[in-house]
Structure 1
Amino acid sequence: MVEDRKLLIAIVGTSIIAYNGIRYLLNYFRYRCSPLTPVGTVGALYVYPVKSCKGKSVFSVYCDELGPVAGEMRDRQFVVINGETGRVYKNERCDGLDCGDDAATFLANIIQDPGIIHVYADTLVGNELSLIDMLLAFNDDAPFMINTQSSLDDLNGKLHDKVTIEQFRPVIVVNNCDAFDEDKWYSVHIGDVALQCTKPCERCVMTTINSTTGIKHPSMEPLKTLRKYRLAPEGPMRKLFKDCPIFGVDAGVITPGYIHVGQTVYVRYKRAYQKANLFHRL
């Protein structure tokens, strides 16, 4: 009797594992076999060597697991911190290398704060919430953030004071696609480069700071307007993002390589948005 019970438990356990394994493989091949759809072109590329500082517009970047690289510039490889208190980063400790007194003095003279220190990301932080294994320097959630020009145009149509795409600090800007089409993307493919979309990009108070003047908008725009129509839907996503509106999509590298402005952008859509799929019959 005991042996029969053990055998039954083993059979049930094996069946559950086999079922989940087959389900995973079907989902995997469903996406791998789904068609690539052209959605637009690369309109702009940016690299932000110092976190939260002004970005640099570039024609091409090399995409690796840590993010975009343009010449000697790697995205968000440096951060400026308070020398006495350090910086609380995503409630975690992020180790780095002090760039020395010369860099600190230079920044202190500009910012008028003698306690400023310039730090280089020596060790990298893993993102445990991602669909793929990712390493981060001083990025928030992912090595790449993608915006679309049409989504910005839609937002500006609702704003009195227009904003530029630089206020959202994207790495890749896609032109000529539908507004907020990025909500539907499962993966992005540009030339030989493949990017896995990991989650929507929730926006914070940084979007209210003019990237040219450094002045915060007195009415907290565009964040205030985005909260009226771009909050996550009710459910797990709303619990995760709370009152942070969604604008853009985060991504990590599946296949590294070079991309440049003007290339065609292809995507695989999430299953709910795929119009046709070979495995839908299974």
Structure 2
Amino acid sequence: MHLKSIYVYPVKSLSGFSVKSWPVNEKGLLHDRRWMIVDTENRFITQRQFPKMSLISTSLSKEGLHLSAASMPPITVPFESDPTATFNVEIWNDSCSAKPASETANNWLSTFLETDCRLVYQPEDAVRVVDPDYGKPKDKIYFSDGFPFLIISEASLTALNQEMNETFSMTRFRPNLVVTDCEPYAEDTWRTIRIGAIDFRLPKPCSRCSITTIDPSTGQQGKEPLATLNRTRKWNKQVFFGQNALHDKTGELHIDDALIVLTQGPKQPPLI
């Protein structure tokens, strides 16, 4: 088993990009969901409310964050902004500190999404901890929903596509790490694994929402894969695909890094 793909999503709920290697800091993949779009109440917004967010492309360079979309001029957002302006933003039931990213980006995003919003970022010295029910006190994250990594096996997507008679791409499921050369849903039993030189804990399967029904290439919404997941991967009134993960050290991940399963447990979710 080995690592086939690495995906970085600089802005929560915008499109990401694949890389051959990437640094891992204490919060996960460097800059992964370090930025986030919030509404006028400083509450996060996602593709759930605005499917068009899937059509905004992102990239990173030494100059900062780059945003582009059809009919819009590309813009660059610096990594840091006003060091004095800090305020709280909300993600689900969590409140954490953020800084304003760029007034230019605010106008750009508000125009494209046709709603009043602004871009914020998490300063590197900010501390947002993982839910203590699943993480250790040292576990930190940027603006992801709850965990720094989402791991899915290539075989699991192949199996799901066969169930649906579809050819969905992995990008629809927004994983960080895609692994290969294992059985479908093998990741359901993994509890600790090692990829390259970094150890991971897999404490919780990933419950899936309506974002998976949005075609990332068109922004159009359908019924799959939730219709099939409701039939094949439902437990406790939720559907699951992929595993959330936490890391135990920093370093760097590379395509083709070997994956070693260190410990296993009962399937999560506990499907027959």
**For the residues of structure 1 that align with 2:91 and 2:215, how far apart are their CA atoms?**
23
Deviation, 1:84, is 4.5
Name the TM-score, length of structure 2 as normaliser: 0.75
**For the residues of structure 1 that align with 2:17 and 2:234, how far apart are their CA atoms?**
29
Matched, 1:91 2:93: yes
**For the residues of structure 2 that align with 1:86 and 1:160, how far apart are their CA atoms?**
37
Deviations along 1:87-118, one digit per CA (max 9) or x if unpaired, are 352222232111131111122232233x1100
Deviation, 1:272, is 5.3
Deviations along 1:220-250, one digit per CA (max 9) or x if unpaired, are 2101111111123xxxxx2xxxx22111111
In structure 1, the partner of 2:258 is: 264
Matched, 1:103 2:105: yes
Deviations along 1:21-58, one digit per CA (max 9) or x if unpaired, are xxxxxxxxxxxxxxxxxxx1111000000001101111
Whichever of the two has the greater Rg, that structure is: 1
Query: Structure 1 residues 84 and 250 mapped into 2: Cα distance closer, same or farther (>3 Å)?
Result: closer
**Count of matched residue positions in the alignment of Structure 1 and Structure 2:** 218
In structure 2, the partner of 1:36 is: none
- Which one is further off, 252-261 or 42-51? 252-261
Alignment of 1:126-141 (within 5 A): 126-127=129-130, 128-133=132-137, 134-141=139-146
Alignment of 1:182-201 (within 5 A): 182-201=187-206
Deviations along 1:207-226, one digit per CA (max 9) or x if unpaired, are 11112212111xx2101111
**For the residues of structure 1 that align with 2:183 and 2:166, how far apart are their CA atoms?**
23
Q: For residue 112 of structure 1, what is the amino acid of its counterpart?
A: E
- Which one is further off, 254-263 or 104-113? 104-113
* 1:65 and 1:143 in contact (8 A); partners too: no
Select which of 160, 169, 172 maps to 2:177. 172
* 2:43 and 2:91 in contact (8 A); partners too: no
Determine helix, strand or coil for the equivalent of 2:217.
coil
In structure 1, the partner of 2:231 is: 228
Name the TM-score, length of structure 1 as normaliser: 0.73
Determine helix, strand or coil for the equivalent of 2:11.
coil
**For the residues of structure 2 that align with 1:153 and 1:57, how far apart are their CA atoms?**
19
**For the residues of structure 2 that align with 1:258 and 1:159, how far apart are their CA atoms?**
35
In structure 2, the partner of 1:34 is: none
The structure richer in strand per residue is 2
Gaps of 5+ in 2: 45-89, 268-272
Q: For residue 130 of structure 1, what is the amino acid of its counterpart?
A: Y
* 2:190 and 2:265 in contact (8 A); partners too: no
Gaps of 5+ in 1: 1-39, 233-237, 274-282
Determine helix, strand or coil for the equivalent of 1:132.
coil
Deviation, 1:129, is 2.0
The structure richer in helix per residue is 1
In structure 1, the partner of 2:117 is: 116
Deviation, 1:167, is 1.0
**For the residues of structure 1 that align with 2:135 and 2:107, how far apart are their CA atoms?**
41
Query: Structure 1 residues 132 and 84 mapped into 2: Cα distance closer, same or farther (>3 Å)?
Result: closer
* 2:110 and 2:117 in contact (8 A); partners too: yes
**For the residues of structure 1 that align with 2:4 and 2:100, how far apart are their CA atoms?**
36
Identity of aligned residues (%): 29
* 1:132 and 1:196 in contact (8 A); partners too: no
RMSD: 1.7
Deviation, 1:264, is 1.4
**For the residues of structure 1 that align with 2:239 and 2:264, how far apart are their CA atoms?**
20
